[in-house]
Structures are given as C-alpha cells and as structure tokens.
Amino acid sequence: MKKIISAIILAALCFALIACGNDAGVPDGMQDVSSDGVAYSLYIPATWNPSHDVDGGYYSQDDKSGVSVTSYYPELDTPSIAAYWEMCKESYGATYDNFKVIEEAKEIVLGGKAAASYIFEGEMAGQALKYRQIIAVHGDKFYIMTYTSTPENYELHETELQAIIDNFKFK
C-alpha cells in the first residue's frame, strides 16, 4: 500500500513539474511579453524576439517589423478615442516627413473592448515607415497597440499581427 501511495505522490509531483514548465494561459505558438503589473496580456509569436524596453517584440534582426503596447492617461481635453487620435495625428504630422493617413477610425475589438484602428505612414531620418495603431479604453486609460514596419514588409506579417490582436487580453 505504501508503494502505491508513494507512486501516486511521485506521479503527481512529476505532473506538477511538467505543468509548471508550460506558461498557463499562453496561447499555443505565442509568448507572453507583458510587464509585471500591467492591465493586459500581450502575446507575440514564439518565433519573434521580445523587446527589452517596451512591452512588445519584433520579427527579426533583418526585419524589425514589430508590435508594442503603451498606455496614456487622458487629459480632460481628450475624453474620447477620436479626440486622442486627433491629438496624435497633429503630433505625427509635426514629427514625420510625408505624414499620410491611409485608414482612419476603422472599428475593431481589442481585448474585448471597442477600439479604433488607424493606418498611417511617414518618414523619419530618411526611413519610410508604415504603422497601424489600435486604440482602446480600459479603466481610466487609453491603450495603444502599435504595429510598425517598412512599407515593403508591412503586409508580410498580417497573419501574425491578427493573432497578436486576437490574443490580446485586458485583465
């Protein structure tokens, strides 16, 4: 009887150790790159490289297409996603050469919240860049998911970007 109980306990311990090796809740083929204490879970493809300075990651050393998530406490004069975007658009116009909005205010869902998607491009230091920003409100903050790429590589990662969007969760 002692041997049977010992075998059951050993099997349970082995199972627990194996289960601890898997990140609970992380979708298959993805990795969690969320910082501690944030109000969301951001997953990027397991084949991508995590960023070290922001929550996000990028495809490769040769193709820096990547995703990041930031947050912003709204000021009294930016109470909506549309007002926040207008503030950003003005700033981007002053920051980027050849700034151009390609798609404005497409309604989508991010982490179960109503959100708006914006696609724009511009040049910085002679480098052409294309962006997709998805803006959602959760609690008292705006959350901004930004996909950044060169125009040539932008569409190469659409499937991966959609998986990142689909697996994003607010806590």
pLDDT for residue 18:
38
Residues in CB range of 143: below 8 A, 6 or more apart = 39, 40, 69, 70, 71, 110, 111, 135, 136, 137, 170
Q: Which of 115, 114, 116 is nearest to 105 (CA)?
A: 116
Q: Which tens digits make up the pLDDT trace of 61-107?
A: 999 999 999 999 887 666 799 999 999 999 999 999 999 999 999 99
CB-CB neighbours of 16 under 10 Å: 9
| Structural domain includes residue 9 | no
Q: Which tens digits make up the pLDDT trace of 17-29?
A: 334 444 679 999 9
| Structural domain includes residue 65 | yes
What CATH number does the domain containing 117 carry?
3.40.1000.10
Distance CA(8)–CA(91), nearest Å, equals 63
Distance CA(64)–CA(45), nearest Å, equals 14
Q: Which tens digits make up the pLDDT trace of 118-171?
A: 999 999 999 999 999 999 999 989 999 999 999 999 999 999 999 999 999 999
Its domain, for residue 137, covers 28-170
Number of domains in the chain: 1
| Structural domain includes residue 22 | no
